[in-house]
Amino acid sequence: MRVLVTGGAGFLGSHLCERLLSEGHEVVCLDNLFTGRKKNIVHLLDNPYFEFVRHDVIDPFKFEVDQIYNLACPASPPHYQYNAIKTIKTSVMGAINCLGLAKRLNARVFQASTSEVYGDPDQHPQTEAYWGNVNPIGIRSCYDEGKRCAETLFFDYHRQNGVDIRIVRIFNTYGPRMLANDGRVVSNFIVQALKGEDLTVYGDGSQTRSFCYYSDLIEGFVRLMNQDKITGPVNIGNPGEFTMLELAEAVLELVGSKSKLVHLELPSDDPKQRQPDISVAKKELDWAPKVDLKEGLAATIEYFRKDLGL
């Protein structure tokens, strides 16, 4: 098949492009390089079945493809808040452009949605049936509401035009190719520990997240995309739930660092807890994560050691 991956030069997108090429598909990678980088895909540029197109998903595009994965959107809070209007345009107009193309081509289209659609959840763990608790006017809303609107568009195109959709709700995922300045907690803690700097814990560090290693996530993507039973939304994530203090301790231990913890102000609307209920993925996709936190952190630490020359 010929497959379009928007956001294909980013952390997750570049791993997905690699996976699709390894399965014998042709890949068109569309990216404006806002938070992605050529370095993530440079090893693919010589492959005749791989094509990089520098383009903004907000502007219409036309390619002859069989499948579309829509991943284009900054994912880290400092990056998506840098230009909030651009972020919501990316989610909403990017979805419309992908869905319009899928409709014309009769192609299957996949949306990288997020656990952020659940906001600061008052149901725990979160099932796909939970509608969420999202502030529509806060500093995270450009991302959360943009992704919620994209899901709405996916279902409207599905109901109204019969577009063949798949939606995954991704829970915090980490691994090699995250940017050192990404701003998300795993990369921040690892880079700080490697440099011997203080680890910046926001708030008292009792808030929780559930961290999934990238390879498990990509396996979930491909399984959802290539089955005919369900459209989603499907939660894909690792149910292992940790406080930010526990994460900091794990990183310090694995790096062998003597860095201290420093507490900074908790950003507004920061969710207090998050854990995926993955029953649907287990039952419908026969999917479950394989890599536990320590194993995934160790591999990510090795990546950053090399990437930063530390």
209 binds, among ligand NAD, ligand UDP, none (CB under 5 to 8 A by kind): ligand UDP
32 binds, among ligand NAD, ligand UDP, none (CB under 5 to 8 A by kind): ligand NAD
Nearer to ligand NAD, 13 or 125 (CB): 13
Chain positions contacting ligand NAD, by CB under 6 A:
6-7, 9-13, 31-36, 56-58, 71-75, 90, 112, 114, 170, 172-173
Nearest to 204 by CA among 162, 157, 265, 151: 265
Mask for 251-290, x = binds ligand UDP (CB under 6 A) = ----------------x--x--------------------
Residue 210's alpha-carbon distances to 89, 117, 163, 214, 272, in angstroms, are 28, 15, 32, 13, 12
Distance from C-alpha of 153 to C-alpha of 91, rounded to nearest angstrom: 10
Letter string b/e over residues 271-303, b meaning 16 or more CB atoms within 10 A of that residue's CB = bebbbbbbebbeeebebebebebeebbebbbeb
Distance from C-alpha of 234 to C-alpha of 225, rounded to nearest angstrom: 11
148: contact with ligand UDP by CB under 6 A? no
Active site residue 143: yes
188 binds, among ligand NAD, ligand UDP, none (CB under 5 to 8 A by kind): ligand UDP
Nearest to 60 by CA among 6, 118, 114, 133: 6
Which residues 202-221 are close enough to bind ligand UDP by CB under 6 A? Answer: 202, 207, 209
Nearer to ligand UDP, 97 or 187 (CB): 187
Q: In the bound complex, what is the minimum distance in angstroms from residue 178's beta carbon to ligand UDP? A: 10
For residue 175, give every residue at least 6 positions away whose Cβ sits within 8 Å of its Cβ, in sequence order, or none: 11, 15, 213, 214, 215, 296, 299, 300, 303
Distance from C-alpha of 310 to C-alpha of 259, rounded to nearest angstrom: 15
Nearer to ligand NAD, 9 or 109 (CB): 9
170 binds, among ligand UDP, ligand NAD, none (CB under 5 to 8 A by kind): ligand NAD
Q: Give me the residues paired with residue 31 across strands.
A: 54
Nearer to ligand NAD, 157 or 171 (CB): 171
216 binds, among ligand NAD, ligand UDP, none (CB under 5 to 8 A by kind): none
Q: In the bound complex, what is the minimum distance in angstroms from residue 196's beta carbon to ligand NAD? A: 26
Active-site hit among 118, 143, 157, 213: 143
Q: Which of 3, 88, 201, 278 binds ligand UDP (CB under 6 A)?
A: 201
82: contact with ligand UDP by CB under 6 A? no
Chain centroid to Cα 171, Å, comes to 7
Q: Helix (H, G, I), strand (E, B), or coil: what is residue 170?
A: strand
169: contact with ligand UDP by CB under 6 A? no
Encoding tokens for residue 195?
């440099």
Catalogue the active-site residues.
143
